[in-house]
Amino acid sequence: MDPNMFQTISAYKIIRKVAEGGMGEVFLADQMGVSGFSKTVGIKTIKRELLDRYYFRDMFIDEAKLVASLVHENIQQVYQLVDWAGSLAIIMEWIHGVTLEDLNTRLDERNDYLPPNLAVFIVSRVARALAYAHEKRGPDGRPLFLVHRDVSPVNIFVSWGGVVKLADFGIAKARSARRAQRDDEILGKAPYLSPEQARGLQIDARSDLYTLGLVLFELLTGEQVFPVETIDDAIVMHDKNEIPSPRDWNPSISPEIERIMRIMLEKEPTRRYQRARDIVRELELLLYQNGYGPTNERLAEYLDVVFPEVDKHRLLPEEMIMPR
Whole-number Å distance between alpha carbons of 277 and 288: 16
Cβ within 8 Å of residue 50, ≥6 positions away: 23, 24, 56, 57, 60
* Nearest residue to 118 (alpha-carbon basis) of 219, 25, 188: 219
16: which strand partners? Answer: 28
Cβ within 8 Å of residue 184, ≥6 positions away: 200, 201, 202
Q: What's the count of helices (H) and strands (E) in the chain, helices before strands?
A: 9, 8
150 is catalytic: yes
Other beta carbons within 10 angstroms of residue 121's beta carbon come to 24
Q: Which of 150, 233, 248, 311 is catalytic?
A: 150
Q: In what order do the strands lie in the sheet with 11-20?
A: 11-20, 25-32, 38-45, 87-93, 78-84
Whole-number Å distance between alpha carbons of 128 and 132: 6
* Residues labelled as active-site residues: 150
